Amino acid sequence: MLTRAKRRFLFYTSVFIFIIMLVPILFYSLGYRVSSDFKILKTGGIFIQASQAGAELVIGARHKRTSFLGESALVKNLPPDTTYKISVLKDGFWPYIKELKVESETVTARNVLLIPQNIEGKILGTSTPKIEILKPNLPAVKKFWSIPGTNDFIILGDDGKFYRNKELFDVAQAWGTTTYEILKGNKKSIFDENFSRLIYWDASVIDSYWIDKEDKLPRWQDQLFYRIGPIKPTNSIRSVFSYPGWPDWLLIAMENGVFVLEIDHSGGQNVFPLYKGKKPDIISVEPDKIIILDDKRYIEITSP
């Protein structure tokens, strides 16, 4: 028979056991984990902004699909200080594979551009199509850059000076000496569509210099200079463009194809074929289409 003392003992023992069990459950639900060296750490997460809804984000045994409205997916409560191999998969598209490190109380994010494995191009013929290519309305201009979001151009005159349209322009004072030296010293360079990067290249290497405010740097980039290459095979790059709407991606023409290239190569760089031919070059890039010249024929590809 249970006496009052025994019932009281059992009651307080049950309450004590409940509290003991409740504490770790509560910590777990709040996202805390115990590390291998027995430290209590807050978990992290991985966020993917994809170009396709219904794509599957795979992280180990965990699966999640990108939403149909935001085309994004978030996996939470991942143990920190760990590198995860992630895959973003969808039938008919090239798989995106990367290794991402998760840190405590941090969400690691990436913009994932999924490219179809089979893209049909529309042959426009051998005559130059009507393409709106922005260029200065000035005679004999050989080297110029369009300023994104404006109708203005930066022009390097035959006198070695820079002009904004027709007016003399001090690039070094406006954007710094590094930007001035890159524009002056590199034959091939462009501003990205957000006016955040100055991208310049030769036949083998693509480089990027961040010209926007440092606090706007992507989380994966920790310095202003970022070398995207060298690209293999060497001596193969013909042209480089920003991919419309996706600032972490480029369009490049090299060897026998046109490719979509991920700027961030930490954890593995993703490169997807967009077009294969003989020796194609990119003629025009618009938000909804890309014009390619290959074997004396113009080809139109709808931007994936």
Q: What's 73's domain CATH number?
A: 2.60.40.1120
pLDDT winner (highest mean) among 1-15, 18-32, 249-263 = 249-263
CA 121 to chain centre: 25
Q: Is the pLDDT of residue 33 over 50?
A: no
Instruction: Tell me the two tokens of residue 185.
Output: 């010293």
Helix, strand, coil percentages (3-state) for the chain, rounded to 5, are: 15, 40, 45
Q: Report the mean per-residue pLDDT for the chain.
A: 85
11 lies in the same domain as 66: no
Looking at the structure, tell me whether residues 26 and 54 fall in a common domain. Answer: no
Q: How far, in Å, CA of 16 to CA of 54, rounded?
A: 47
pLDDT at 24: 43
pLDDT digits (tens, 9 = 90+) for 136-179: 777 777 888 999 888 899 999 888 899 999 899 999 999 999 99
Q: Residue 238: name the closest of 183, 296, 283 by CA.
A: 283
Confidence of residue 186 (pLDDT cuts 50, 70, 90): confident
Residue-level pLDDT at 40: 45
- In three-state secondary structure terms, 110 is strand
Q: Provide the pLDDT confidence category of residue 303 given band limits of 50, 70 and 90.
A: confident
* Domain membership flag for residue 136: yes
Domain boundary among 112, 146, 165: 112
57-64 mean pLDDT = 94
Mean pLDDT of 215-227: 92
| CA atoms of 243 and 163, how far apart (whole Å) | 27
- Let me know whether 129 and 81 are in one domain: no
6 versus 218: the higher-pLDDT residue is: 218
Q: What is the pLDDT of residue 115?
A: 96
If asked whether residues 214 and 104 sit together in one domain, one would say: no
For 5, phi then psi, to 5°, come to -65, -40
Residue 67 lies inside a defined structural domain of this protein: yes
Residue 290 has pLDDT above 50, yes or no: yes
Is residue 16 predicted with pLDDT exceeding 80? no
**Does pLDDT of 56 surpass 90?**
yes
Q: What is the pLDDT of residue 110?
A: 95
- 220: Cβ contacts below 8 Å, ≥ 6 apart: 110, 264, 266
Phi/psi for 106 (5° steps) reads -135, 140
Q: Is the pLDDT assigned to residue 25 strictly greater than 60?
A: no
Which residue bears the tokens 């938000």? 287
State whether 23 and 138 are in the same domain.
Answer: no
Range 213-222, long-range pairs (CB < 8 A, 24+ positions): 218/248, 218/264, 219/108, 219/109, 220/110, 220/264, 220/266, 221/264
**Quick count: other Cβ atoms within 10 Å of Cβ 189?**
19
* Helix (DSSP H) and strand (DSSP E) numbers for the chain: 3, 25
pLDDT at residue 219, rounded to an integer: 87
Q: What is the CATH number of the domain that holds 133?
A: 2.110.10
pLDDT band for position 37 (cuts 50, 70, 90):
very low
Domain for residue 208, yes or no?
yes
Pair of tokens at residue 191: 């501003």
Please check whether residues 189 and 292 belong to one and the same domain: yes
Residues 212 and 88 in one domain: no
What is the domain extent for residue 82? Answer: 40-112
Mean per-residue pLDDT, 280-294: 92
**Residue pLDDT, tens place only, 81-115:** 899 999 999 999 999 999 999 988 888 999 999 99
Residue 67 has a pLDDT of 94
Nearest to 251 by CA among 68, 107, 113, 52: 113
What is the total count of domains within the chain?
A: 3
Helix runs in the chain, H state only: 4-29, 171-175, 177-185
- What value, to the nearest 5°, has the Cα angle with vertex 32 and ends 31 and 36? 135
55-69, 146-160, 224-238, range with greatest mean pLDDT: 55-69
What six digits make up the tokens of 109?
A: 């994010």
Q: Which among 113, 76, 109, 114 is positioned nearest to 221, based on CA atoms?
A: 109
State whether 141 and 222 are in the same domain: yes
Residue 65 and residue 161 share a domain = no
Is the pTM higher than 0.85? The answer reads no
Task: Say if 117 falls within a structural domain.
Answer: no
Note the pLDDT of residue 276: 93
User: Is residue 127 located within the same domain as residue 100?
Assistant: no
| 163 plus 297 within the same structural domain | yes
Side-chain half-sphere of 230: how many Cα atoms within 13 Å?
Answer: 7
Count of Cβ atoms closer than 10 Å to residue 15 Cβ: 10
Position 264 scores a pLDDT of 94
- Residue 19 and residue 96 in one domain: no
